């Protein structure tokens, strides 16, 4: 990856470019794969290569992905990689105009819908996973009374722990330690609510 830091998406056009269902799926698939061609990604998302190529170019136009070094001997294929270690979108960057607020909310809902679909697929196929994987998987809800500063500190600590595990897993994977290793999704939502 070009940057070991997450990219903060703070402009409306980039958020709109990312806020397309197929582009979100492609970004996720590319993030997991680290490097891939349009053909490989098309197979993963079950779409036509030409359509995938178009959407990859749109993501690249906004600096969300970039061309990667050629892999293998076929120099005709274009390889892609994420341009950063993930993406961050912050409410304060999109709160000063109605179109920004609406786009931010729509992209957030789309992302959440895709997270739900991913988890539903796991639930539907849970019995196909080994007992060890089923035992390791979790679904939890925590309810706490915190201040905004306490919630921000909690989020920061949780992200540090996840980053540490993700980096260690990637390093072991790159070193060839692939036995028993699977893609793992962890979705965290932390927000205030009133009953």
For residue 194, the SS3 value is: coil
d(CA 73, CA 26): 24
Beta strands in 70-123 (DSSP E): 79-82, 87-89
Q: Which residue matches tokens 């819908």?
A: 113
pLDDT of res. 77: 84
d(CA 15, CA 138): 31
pLDDT of res. 74: 66
Model confidence over 86-123: pLDDT tens digits? 999 999 999 999 999 999 999 999 999 999 999 999 99
d(CA 137, CA 161): 17
- pTM for the structure as a whole: 0.88
């Amino acid at each position: 990856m070009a940057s070991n830091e997450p990219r903060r998406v703070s402009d409306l056009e980039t958020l709109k470019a990312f806020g397309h269902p197929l582009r979100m799926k492609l970004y996720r698939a590319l993030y997991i794969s680290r490097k891939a061609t349009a053909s490989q990604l098309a197979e993963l998302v079950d779409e036509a290569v030409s359509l995938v190529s178009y959407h990859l170019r749109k993501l690249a136009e906004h600096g969300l992905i970039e061309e990667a070094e050629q892999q293998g001997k076929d120099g005709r294929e274009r390889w892609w990689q994420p341009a950063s270690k993930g993406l961050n979108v912050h409410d304060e960057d999109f709160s000063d105009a109605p179109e920004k607020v609406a786009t931010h909310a729509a992209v957030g809902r789309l992302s959440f819908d895709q997270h739900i679909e991913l988890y539903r697929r796991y639930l539907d196929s849970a019995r196909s996973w080994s007992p060890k994987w089923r035992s390791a998987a979790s679904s939890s809800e925590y309810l706490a009374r915190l201040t905004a500063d306490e919630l921000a500190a909690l989020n920061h600590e949780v992200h540090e722990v996840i980053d540490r595990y993700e980096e260690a897993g990637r390093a072991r994977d790159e070193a060839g330690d692939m036995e028993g290793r699977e893609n793992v999704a962890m979705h965290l939502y932390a927000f205030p609510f009133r009953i």
